[in-house]
Each structure stands twice: as structure tokens, then as C-alpha cells.
Amino acid sequence: MSSPMPSPDQEALRLAFAAPLDRARATGLPLDRISLREHLREVEIGAFQQERGVRQRLRFDIVAEVTPDTEAILSDDVDGILSYDTLIEAIDVEMEAERLNLLETLAERLAARVLLHDRVARVFVRIEKLDRGPHVLGVEIVRARTAAPAIAVAKDAPRPRVILLAKGAQDDDGLSALLDRLSADTAPTVLIATPDFTPPSAANPMAQRRVSLLAVEQAAWRLAARDRRCVVVDSRTELDWSMRRGGLTVWAPSRLVLDATHGPTDEAPLTLARWFAETFHAVELVTPHDPGAGPVPERSARTIADI
């Protein structure tokens, strides 16, 4: 039984990582190629629970087909070519952006970022996990400029005011009046609720982390149950959309914290509030605690009436 014919993309991938002579014979395309081979990085990635809190090695191979600038090459002008650093920088940026579950997502984002360069016509990306067993697991993709997903570049990102509510704020008689004032303000406000109970202890640090984060989220949903204006959001996309609309947002921290490459040092509500305020470049952080030193202006509000 004959083997099925490879698809055009499969053949393109095979040739991308094949010997130069094989590529030349098969394609005859007047495009140059630059490549990054066997670039190793250690990173936390993966959809399985056992991959949380564990760094594993990834191996990257990237080949970019570029439109040659003969004048720049002959004049030895480094500014007229695609630098190899562009490929490494794409990896650096995507590794720092957030923790990902899927190699496929990382490959798509890398390809899209490389294709931002004007001279790149097509890019091939191979990413492999080296520590998941006695084998190599990986993904390979090829993307052309016309088929590449757009990268959302944050421009004029909203800068919110962040308010850490004290314990028992859900039951405070002044909460409705506070929400009236905040809802009338067109500037974005993000509320972070403090649980009014002590979360149970867990022997496993990762389990304890989730228990503590879920306690904050439970307090957030209690706010939502108290007033329909308290809309709970957990993803960066939802937060950005909500803050651009102005008004109120209640933050549920688990998703952003667990996926952060540089997360907060612990899961105490005050630590979470300061981390969030710094991450989203808040204009002000209001807490029921004494102000702390940091990049975000901070003030104390002991009661809801002080906010």
C-alpha cells in the first residue's frame, strides 16, 4: 500500500529543515533563508498538572525565508538584513509574556512575531520538549505573511485605579454608595476582594497556592452576588476590554497568577494587589493597610467611606 502524498505544508516543512541542496533542487525560489538551530531554553510550560511548577527544556529551530537586499549585502550593511537576533528576540518576548499550556500556541506566536519583519515572506518553526520521557515531543508549523495571525500590540493600555477591599466589605452598609460613586466615574477601577475567612492549610505548596487564590476568588464572587455591577473577570483579554470600557471590574486572580512568568511572591491579598497594580501600571493603589514603597502610588483607606 502506497504512502499518502504529503500536503504542501508538510512538504514545505520537510524542505525547511532539509539540506540546502535538497531545498534548492525542490523549490528554486529566489528567497534567502536564515536559521536558528538547536536553541535550548528552560521554561515552565504544559497543560498537565505535573508540569506546573516544573521547568523543562525546549529546543527551538526557526527558519525564515527573506527577500534578499542585494545592495545591503554587497555593502556589508547590517541594517539592511534580517538579524539573527530577531529570531532569538521573538523567543525571549514570547517566553516572558505569559505561561502557556500548548507548544502549538507558542509556535503560532513565534511565527507571527517573526513575520512582523518586513523582509520575512515565510517562517518555519519547530519546538520540541526534551524532558517528557524517553522520546522527543514536538510541533512544526509553517506560516506565510498572508496567513499569519495578527499580533495584538498593546497601545495606550488603560491604567486603572486598584482598590483592595478590607475583610467583610461585602457586608458593609456603605458598599452600595461606594459602587455608585465608582460606577459614575469613567476611569477604570479594579476591585480586589479580601476573604473574611482563613483558607485551609495544605501540605503541598502548589495545592496551598491554589487554595489561597481560590479564597480570594470566592470573595470576588460574593461581591458579584451582592451587586450586579461587580463583574468578575480572570483573563488578561477580559481585563483589557473591561478597563477600556471604564467603570468597575472585580479581579479573580488564579488564571493570571498561575500563568505569570514573574508572579507575586505569595498569595496574600495585599501582595496580589501590589503585584496587579505594578503589572497593569495602575495610577493608584488603595488598601486598608499602611502604604508601602513601590512603583505605584499607594494610600490607605481603613473603611469603605475612606475610599
Q: What is the DSSP string of 222-237?
A: HHHHH-TT--EE-SHH
Give the domain extent around 259: 161-306
pLDDT for the residue 156: 67
Residue 85 lies inside a defined structural domain of this protein: yes
Shared-domain flag, residues 60 and 183: no
Residue 155 lies inside a defined structural domain of this protein: no
Shared-domain flag, residues 52 and 124: yes
Shared-domain flag, residues 209 and 294: yes
Give me the residues paired with residue 248 across strands. Answer: 189
Shared-domain flag, residues 29 and 81: yes
Shared-domain flag, residues 53 and 189: no
Cα three-residue angle 15-19-23, rounded to 5 degrees: 45
The last residue of one of the domains, among 88, 118, 147, is 147
Shared-domain flag, residues 128 and 185: no
CA 157 to each of CA 6, 154, 231, 245, 252: distance values in angstroms, whole numbers, following the listed order: 44, 6, 20, 12, 20
Residue 152 lies inside a defined structural domain of this protein: no
Residue 112 lies inside a defined structural domain of this protein: yes
Are the C-beta atoms of residues 232 and 224 closer than 8 Å to each other? yes
Q: Helix or strand or coil: residue 78?
A: helix
The last residue of one of the domains, among 147, 182, 201, is 147
Nearest in space to 99 (alpha carbons), one of 215, 236, 220: 236
140-180 confidence digits (pLDDT tens) = 998 987 765 656 544 567 899 999 999 988 888 899 999 99
Q: Decide if pLDDT at 45 tops 70.
A: yes
pTM beyond 0.75: the answer is no
Shared-domain flag, residues 206 and 125: no
User: For a pLDDT cut of 90, what percent of the chain falls above it?
Assistant: 48
Instruction: Report the 10 Å Cβ neighbour count for 221.
Output: 15
The last residue of one of the domains, among 147, 178, 213, is 147
For the chain, give the mean pLDDT: 85
Helix%, strand%, coil% for the chain, nearest 5: 40, 20, 40
Residue 74 lies inside a defined structural domain of this protein: yes
46-76 confidence digits (pLDDT tens) = 888 778 888 999 999 999 988 876 555 555 5
Q: Which three cell numbers stand for residue 77?
A: 550593511
Shared-domain flag, residues 35 and 96: yes
Report the DSSP pairing between strands 120-129 and 56-66. antiparallel
Shared-domain flag, residues 232 and 136: no
Shared-domain flag, residues 274 and 143: no
Residue 194 lies inside a defined structural domain of this protein: yes
More confident of the two residues 72 and 45: 45
Shared-domain flag, residues 166 and 298: yes
Are the C-beta atoms of residues 121 and 145 closer than 8 Å to each other? yes
Q: Which three cell numbers stand for residue 299?
A: 494610600
Shared-domain flag, residues 170 and 302: yes
Are the C-beta atoms of residues 296 and 274 closer than 8 Å to each other? yes
Question: What's the CA gap between 6 and 11, in Å, rounded?
Answer: 6
Residue 130 lies inside a defined structural domain of this protein: yes
Are the C-beta atoms of residues 15 and 33 closer than 8 Å to each other? no
75-102 confidence digits (pLDDT tens) = 554 445 677 888 999 999 898 888 888 8
Residue 23 lies inside a defined structural domain of this protein: yes
Nearest in space to 48 (alpha carbons), one of 111, 112, 133: 133
More confident of the two residues 14 and 55: 55
Q: What is the CATH number of the domain that holds 57?
A: 3.30.1130.10
Instruction: Report the 10 Å Cβ neighbour count for 241.
Output: 13
The answer to which of 17-21, 247-251, 300-304 has the lowest mean pLDDT is: 17-21
User: Number of structural domains, the chain?
Assistant: 2
Q: At residue 237, what is the residue type?
A: T
Residue ranges with strand state E in 252-294: 284-287
Q: What is the CATH number of the domain that holds 287?
A: 3.40.1160.10
